[in-house]
Amino acid sequence: MSLLPILLDLIRRAGSLSFERYMELCLYHPEHGYYMQGGERTGMRGDYFTSPDLHPVFARLIARQAGEMWERLGRPPRFTWVEMGPGRGYFSHDFLAGAKHQNPAFYDAIEYIAVEPSERQRAHLRERIAAADFAPNIRIVPSLGEVDQVTGCFFSNELVDAFPVHVVTRSSGRLKEIHVAAKGGRLIEKIGPMSGTELAAAVARYAPDLEEGHRAEINLRAAEWMRAVAARLGRGFAITIDYGDLAPRLYTLDRPRGTLMAYREHSAGEDFYRSPGETDLTAHVNFSALIDAGNEAGLELAGFTTQERFLLALGEENAFRDICDPGESEIEQLQARLKLKRLINPEGMGNIFKVLIQQRGVEPAKLTGLKFQNSNER
């Protein structure tokens, strides 16, 4: 059985689903959800690439930043690193290996917690970590609810863009919401009422100039998630890396269809209703909402910058020696440099991806990764 008959039955009984509910089922249905099936989502055999897929240098540089965070916290005997959405564990493996090589004292202090909702992905993650024989205390849990208050850092890479979003539009001068209905056994869109006052308030706050017929995505769950992270961060940092921007640069006239995309086999499109559960659905992240939610929950803004500037700042000190492994051939070293270029290319991942760092209980001081932050990024 596929997800489509389940969706059609729900729509038959309810009349329609909000797009947010539809996206939630497509991505997180316990059996048929895109992220819950345990298949290859990233890399050559998946539907898209993430930064950890390209080269270990991404995780190694972040391990360097984490070591500095540990120092800023006074070198506590336990530094808890909470990775949310680790997938199959490419980042966790390279992060721990990088920390062990760069800073053994920091490595010995690490408690690594991976938060992964998919049982199948948790199994893959256990296999990868077990094969590496890492010394730090490592836990794999299904939700943030399993994490107690920590001293350390909460980290995510391309997580928030996969939270279900409401899709809103302006029709006949009034705010409306996109719903999913059915016709002749097919899924179709229809314009319906807004889901509630919280959604309307978010539009008023972040996309007040939405034009007639234009669309915008509102991710209410991102703020809920940030509040949950803040509640569990006693002292330390939260690093959020994703594609998106601050609200004034996200909700603009040149995006009349918003940023919602469907990814399958490394192709992007707007056919959101084809093969539900087998296609990734994603939208750009409104970092203004994450900053505001963090502030309201007691987190301070440490900085906001592009992935390009963040990685360049972290690699400057040792001229990116992290990029190559001992014994690599000249061709392998060239391939590694080309992959690094892709990570920092300002016309690609380097500028599309942003890095948000928030903190609590830390003396004010600029982190190395924020060294090249521009004033207009704050």
H-helix or E-strand spanning residue 282:
strand 280-282
Burial of 221 (0-12, 13-18, 19+ CB in 10 A): middle
Residues 26, 299 contacting (CB under 8 angstroms): no
Nearest to 43 by CA among 377, 353, 339, 344: 339
pLDDT band at 1 (very low <50, low <70, confident <90, very high): low
Nearest to 296 by CA among 361, 248, 228, 243: 228
Please name the amino acid found at residue 182.
A
Q: pTM (2 decimals)?
A: 0.93
Point out the least confidently predicted range of 98-107, 131-140, 181-190. 131-140
Average pLDDT over residues 148-164: 97
Listed by start position, the domains of the chain span 51-163+219-260+277-377
Question: Is the pLDDT confidence value at 39 over 70?
Answer: no
Instruction: Quote the pLDDT of residue 340.
Output: 81
Extract the runs of DSSP E, i.e. beta strands, from 53-119.
79-84, 110-115
pLDDT band at 42 (very low <50, low <70, confident <90, very high): low
Residues 290, 222 contacting (CB under 8 angstroms): yes
Please give the angle made by the CA atoms of 322, 336 and 128, to the nearest 5 degrees. 70
Question: Is the pLDDT confidence value at 48 over 60?
Answer: no
Averaged confidence pLDDT in the chain:
91
Distance CA 368, CA 196 (A): 42
Q: Which residue has the higher pLDDT, 324 or 214?
A: 214
The tokens describing 185, both together, are 């056994």
Distance CA 288, CA 285 (A): 9
Is the alpha carbon torsion for 51, 375, 215, 257 positive or negative? negative
- How crowded is residue 279: how many other Cβ atoms within 10 Å of its Cβ? 21
Is the alpha carbon torsion for 94, 97, 99, 102 positive or negative? negative
Question: 326-354 burial by CB neighbour count: b if 16+ within 10 A, else e?
Answer: eeeeeeeeeebeebbeebbeeeebbbbbb
Q: Which residue matches tokens 């890396």?
A: 241
Question: Is the pLDDT confidence value at 153 over 60?
Answer: yes
Extract the runs of DSSP E, i.e. beta strands, from the chain.
17-18, 79-84, 110-115, 137-141, 150-157, 166-171, 174-183, 186-192, 215-218, 233-245, 261-264, 267-269, 280-282, 285-286, 300-306, 353-360
CATH number of the domain located at residue range(s) 51-163+219-260+277-377 in this protein: 3.40.50.12710
The crossing angle, in degrees rounded to 10, of helices 19-28 and 3-14 is 150
Instruction: Quote the pLDDT of residue 189.
Output: 96
Instruction: Quote the pLDDT of residue 134.
Output: 75
Q: Which residue has the higher pLDDT, 125 or 284?
A: 284
201-250 pLDDT tens trace: 999 999 999 999 999 999 999 999 999 999 999 999 999 999 999 999 99
Residues 17, 195 contacting (CB under 8 angstroms): no
Residues 6+ apart with CB under 8 A from 60: 94, 95, 97, 98, 102, 322
Residues 156, 240 contacting (CB under 8 angstroms): yes
Longest dimension (CA), the chain: 65
